[in-house]
Structure 1
Amino acid sequence: RFYWDLIMLLLMVGNLIILPVGITFFKDENTPPWIVFNVLSDTFFLADLVLNFRTGIVVEDNTEIILDPHTIKMKYLKTWFLVDFISSIPVDYIFLIVDLETQVDSDVYKTARALRIVRFTKILSLLRLLRLSRLIRYIHQWEEIFHMTYDLASAVVRIFNLIGMMLLLCHWDGCLQFLVPMLQDFPRDSWVSRSHMVNDSWGKQYSHALFKAMSHMLCIGYGQQTPQGMTDVWLTMLSMIVGATCYAMFIGHATALIQSLDSSRRQYQEKYKQVEQYMSFHKLPGDTRQRIHEYYEHRYQGKMFDEENILGELSEPLKEEIINFNCRSLVANMPLFANADPNFVTAMLTKLRFEVFQPGDFIIREGTVGKKMYFIQHGVVSILTKGNKETKLSDGSYFGEICLLTRGRRTASVRADTYCRLYSL
C-alpha cells in the first residue's frame, strides 16, 4: 500500500501541474502523448477508487483501525466518493471511442477540456491529504534513521509544503490568466492580443502568463501591461486577493514555524532576558553578573525545559525509563550502582536532583548539618579537612553519605575545582 500511495501522490502532482497546461495552451488534445497520459491517469484513479473501498479507516484518536468492509463502504460513500468518482470519470476513453466511430467537432473537445477541470477537485479529497500526512510520517522515519531530529524533519516538510503550495497557486493563476481570454477567442482588449502572443509558442505564452500572475499575486505590479478589458480587470483583482491572502498565510505559517522550531532555546532566551533585567535592576557588580551568565550557560546549555512538569505527566514506567536513560553515564561510572539491584538503582535515580557548581564553589562546608549526599557525574572536587592533605574526587565518585545517615555535622569541606555536574540525594 505504501508504494501505491507513493505512485498516486506522484501522479496527483503530475496531474495538478500538467492538466492546466494542456487545457489552456494546447488546442489539439487528441495527440498520442496526451491520450496516453490521460488514459493512464484515468486507469490509476479508477483503480484507486476501487481500493478505497478496501482500505481501513483510522479512528480520530488513532487508537483503532476499522477494517469492516461494510463500515468502510458506507463511510466512503458518505464522504469523498462522489468527488472522487466525478474526477475519475474516464473522459479520454469515452471521447477516444467516439472519435474512432465518428468525427467529433471542436466544440465537443472544448467540452472535454471543461470537464477535465473537475479533476482539480482531487485536491480537496481528504484521503489525498491523509496520504500527504502519511508521506510526512514516512519522511520522519527516514530522518530518524539518519539521526536527525523530529523538529528538523517536520520543519523541512512544512517549509516545502508552503513553498510548493505557493508555486502551485501561481501556476494555476498563470494558466487562468491565459485560459479566460482563450475561451473568449482573445478579445482585442485582452492582454494576449495586445501583446501579440495569440499565435506564439505555448512556452512563451505560459512564461508571460506566469509572470503576469506572479506580479499580481506578489502585489508588485500588473505585469507588462495594465489591464484594460473588464475581464482582465476582474482577473487582476482576483489574483491580487488570492496572492495577498496566500502571502499573509505564508508569513503567518513561516513565523509560527520559526518560533516553534526550537521552543526550548527561545524559552531559555526569554528567561535569561529576565535575569539580565534583574541584575540590572539590582545593580549587581560585573564579576557577579559574569558568574551568573556562566552558571546559566553550563546549567541549561542554551535550552530550558520544565523537566519536572514533563516527567510528572508521564506514567511511572515511562518516567523511570527516561530517568534511567538520562543517568546511564552516572550508573556506568559508579561502582555503587554498577553491581546493585536494578530496582534499587531505579528507586535511587528517581530521588536524585541535578545540580551544577562553578569552580571555587563550596558544595559542603565543614561544621554544617549534613542533609544531602552527592554523586559526581562530571567534574573534579577537592575534599578539604583541617590538618590533612587535599583529596581529589572525579567522575563516578560520591561524598557526604556518612552525615546523611547519621544526621551529624560535616567533618570536611568540599570545593568544586571545575564546573561540576552533580546529582544530590
Structure 2
Amino acid sequence: MDDKGNHVCMLAKEPKYVDLPPTVGCWRMVLCKIREWRMPCEWHHGSKMYLRSRKSMTRERDRVVELGYWPVLHPYSPIKHYWDCIAFTVGFLAILYIPVEVFKPCPSPYNYYIIIADTVAFLDICLKFITGNDRDGNRVILDSREIARRYLCGTFILDLISTLPFQFIQITEGCRYPTYTSWYLLKLFRLIAIGKAWTNISNQMQLSYVTTTSIAVLTRLVLFIHWMAYIYYQIPIIFVHYYNFKGLANSWIKRFLIEDLYDTSIYIKYSMSLFYVGGMINGAERPSDLGFYLVEETIMSSTIGLIGLMFMVYVWSTLLRMAAYSRFAMYLYEGGLKELQNYMVFKRMPASLRDKIQVFINYKFFGHYFNERDILNTINEQIKQDINMHCCKRLVMNVPLFHEMPIAFLNAIVFKLVQVIYLPGETVIKCDQPGSSIYLIYSGTVAVINAAGQEVAHLRDGSYFGEAALFNPGSQRSSTIIALEITEMYKLSNKEFQSCLQAYPHLKRRLDDYTKSGRRRNFATYN
C-alpha cells in the first residue's frame, strides 16, 4: 500500500493489446489504435453492467481478437458510442429541419443538409452490418453472418427507406407549389434508429427512468405537432395539383391562405399552420369563411383531430404515470439513494467514506432498485434452484473438491452460498487469522500476499481460496487476500458445509478419507 492506502502491485504488468515498440510506423500505430477503439471499453455502461471485472473485460477482448473479424465493432466500444452520438445529433436535427422545407417560397430538392443527413443515416446502416448485437443470452453476438441476418430480419428495410433521396423524384413541375416535399414523410422511419441511439446515450448518461421517459414523451409531443403543421400545409398543395387547380380544390389553397402567404416569411406561414393544428388537436374547429367545405379538407381535419386527441391522451397518461412514479420514489432506487445521502450528511461522514458507500451502491444496483428477497418469495422452489444454479454452478464446479458430486448435493451447496462484495483495498482474509469459510470469486480481482508480505499472485473470476477452512475450521490462514477492484464473491462457511453433508453420510466418509490421505494438498490454492 502507498501513503494514500492504494495498492501497489508487485507483479509484472500484463501487456496491452496495443503495446507497440517505439520504432513502429505511423500507419501501424493508427491501425492498432483503431483496433483498440473497436473493442469494449471499461467506461461504457454496457461493460459496467455485464463485464463487471477486469477478467471479464479481458475475456471479451480476447474473444474479439480470436474471432478474427477485423471489421466487427463491439457494441460496448468507443467507436460505437461516439458514432451513436453523431448519428443521433445529425438525425434529430434533420427531423426538426425537414418539415420547414415545405414553408419555403421555392424549396430545392438538393438541400445540402438533408443530403448530408441522408448520407450519415446510410453510413449508420453500413455500421449496423458490422456492429455486434448487444446481448444474446449471456454473450454479445460478434459473428458477422448472424449480425447481418438479424439486421436484415429487423429494421433494415425501414432504415433504408428513410435514407433514400426520394425527394429527387419530382412529380410536378415548378417550385411554387412543390409536391416532392411529400416524400419527406418517409424520413420519419429514421426515428427508429434515432430512438436506439438515444437509448444508448441516455444509459451512458445514467439518466433515471422518470427523466428518460419524460424527455422522450415531451420530445415526441413536439415532433408530433411540428410534423402535423407540415402535413396541414402540404396536403392542400397535393390536392390542387391532383385537380389541376380547378374547381373547389383551387379554393382550398385560398381557404388555407397558401397562395396569399407565398411571398411571406417562413415564420408567419409556419406559425399560422401551427396555430390551426393546435386548435384541431384541442377540438377547436377553424371557422369557414367561404361558405362551403371540401370532403378532403373535412377528412384531413378529422384525421388530425382524432390522431391528436389519442396522442394527447398518451402524453398526459404517461406524464401522470411518471408523476406518480416519482411521488412514490421513496420506495424505489432514487428515493432510497436520496435517503441514504441525507443519512450520511446527518452522521457527518467524511467525503471519502461517502464516496466509498456511493461506489458500493452503484455497483450493487447499477441504478435499478429491486428487492431480491421479495422477488424470490413469489416463485416456487424449483425456479429458485434454477436461478441459483445458473448464477453459481460454474463457481462451485471450479473447485476440484466438488467434482463428481451428486446434483442434489451441489444444489444444497449453492443454496448455502452467501454473497459478499468488497471494494478496492479492502482485506478479505488476513494471514495467521483463523478461517471458517471458502470464497468463490464471481467477478473481480484480488491480490494474494504471503506471510513475508510479498505479492505472489492475482486471482480473478472463477477462482477460489480458503478451502482449508472446510476441513479444519479455525485453522490459520496462510495468505492475506486484498481486493484490487470491486469484487463480488460467494462464501461458504464450514458450518453450512457440514449441514449439507448431514444428508449424505457416504460423501462425508469420502471427504474424511480425502482429508486424511493428504490429497487435498494437491488441489490447495491459497488459504
Task: Sort the TM-score into its range (normalised by shorter chain).
Answer: 0.5 to 0.7
User: Which deviates the most, 67-76 or 228-237?
Assistant: 228-237
**What aligned pairs does 1:208-227 form with structure 2 within 5 A after superposition?**
208-219=272-283, 221-223=284-286
Equivalent of 2:324 in 256, 259, 269:
259
- Across the aligned residues of Structure 1 and Structure 2, the Cα RMSD in angstroms comes to 4.3
Task: Give the residue type in structure 2 aligned to 1:157.
Answer: T
> Matches of 2:418 and 2:87 in 1, distance apart?
39
> Matches of 2:418 and 2:237 in 1, distance apart?
64
> Matches of 1:84 and 1:213 in 2, distance apart?
28
Structure with higher RCO (Cα < 8 A, 6+ apart) = 2
**What aligned pairs does 1:373-384 form with structure 2 within 5 A after superposition?**
none
Tell me if 1:79 matches 2:154. Answer: yes
**What aligned pairs does 1:51-200 form with structure 2 within 5 A after superposition?**
51-59=127-135, 61=137, 63-91=138-166, 105-106=173-174, 110=178, 112-123=180-191, 125=192, 127-140=193-206, 153-185=208-240, 187-189=250-252, 191-193=255-257, 196-200=260-264
The structure in which a higher percent of residues are helix is 1
- 1:182 Cα offset (Å): 2.1
Answer whether contact 1:188 1:194 (CA < 8 A) is retained: no
Task: Give the residue type in structure 1 aligned to 2:129.
Answer: F
Aligned residues: 275
**What aligned pairs does 1:404-423 form with structure 2 within 5 A after superposition?**
none
> Matches of 1:59 and 1:48 in 2, distance apart?
19
> Matches of 1:117 and 1:60 in 2, distance apart?
34
- 1:118 Cα offset (Å): 1.9
Look up the match of 1:11: 90
Look up the match of 1:415: none
**What aligned pairs does 1:343-354 form with structure 2 within 5 A after superposition?**
none
Please identify the structure whose Cα radius of gyration is greater. 1
> Matches of 2:434 and 2:278 in 1, distance apart?
65
- 1:239 Cα offset (Å): 1.8
Answer whether contact 1:189 1:228 (CA < 8 A) is retained: no
Answer whether contact 2:281 2:305 (CA < 8 A) is retained: yes
1:238 is paired with a residue whose SS is helix
- 1:209 Cα offset (Å): 0.7
Look up the match of 2:107: 29
Answer whether contact 1:217 1:239 (CA < 8 A) is retained: yes
User: Which deviates the most, 13-22 or 228-237?
Assistant: 228-237
Answer whether contact 2:161 2:186 (CA < 8 A) is retained: yes
> Matches of 1:155 and 1:264 in 2, distance apart?
10
- 1:28 Cα offset (Å): 2.7
Look up the match of 1:247: 312
Q: Can you list the C-alpha shifts for 1:122-174, whole angstroms capped at 9, x where unaligned?
A: 22x3x44322211220121xx6xxxxxxxxx3212211111111111111111
Residues 80/318 of structure 1: CA separation in 2 closer, same or farther (3 Å cut) = farther
Q: Can you list the C-alpha shifts for 1:301-356, whole angstroms capped at 9, x where unaligned?
A: xxxx978536978977775449x9xxx9xxxxxxxxxxx979789xxxxxxxxxxx
1:222 is paired with a residue whose SS is coil
Task: Give the residue type in structure 1 aligned to 2:184.
Answer: R
> Matches of 2:374 and 2:312 in 1, distance apart?
38
Look up the match of 1:401: none
> Matches of 1:136 and 1:209 in 2, distance apart?
33
Tell me if 1:46 matches 2:101. Answer: no
User: Which deviates the most, 165-174 or 225-234?
Assistant: 225-234
Residues 82/195 of structure 1: CA separation in 2 closer, same or farther (3 Å cut) = closer
Look up the match of 1:146: none
Residues 243/25 of structure 1: CA separation in 2 closer, same or farther (3 Å cut) = same
> Matches of 1:266 and 1:40 in 2, distance apart?
47
Task: Give the residue type in structure 2 aligned to 1:192.
Answer: F
**What aligned pairs does 1:277-316 form with structure 2 within 5 A after superposition?**
309=374
Structure 2: unaligned runs, 5 residues or longer: 1-79, 241-248, 333-369, 378-383, 389-415, 427-431, 438-527
Q: TM-score, normalised by structure 2?
A: 0.44
